[in-house]
Amino acid sequence: MRSWQKRYVRDLRDTRAETPASANTLLKALRALFPSTRNEDIVDADPTRDVKRLRYVSKGHHTGTLDEVAQFERR
């Protein structure tokens, strides 16, 4: 694992570019993994350090109508 480089992390992130939230979640998981690998001398440096998250704009969540809320409560 000593050969992990930033470009590998970017390539992994970019394989999920069509779903940027998923790509960012992957990056978040890798960022959680690498500090422990450095502590155990498995890798020399954190390859995720300078890899940026993908930016995207969300349309938000659907706000339920009163009819939908009533249907939910009936169920």
Give 36 or 13, the one with higher predicted confidence. 13
- Model confidence at 2, pLDDT cuts 50, 70, 90, reads low
41 φ/ψ angles, rounded to the nearest 5 degrees: 60, 35
pLDDT value, residue 10: 93
Residue at token pair 């050969």 = 3
Q: What is the pLDDT of residues 26-48, one digit of tens each?
A: 999 999 988 877 767 777 788 88
- Model confidence at 11, pLDDT cuts 50, 70, 90, reads very high
Residue 52 has pLDDT above 90, yes or no: yes
5's CB contacts (< 8 A; 6+ apart) are 47
E strand or H helix that includes residue 11: helix 6-14
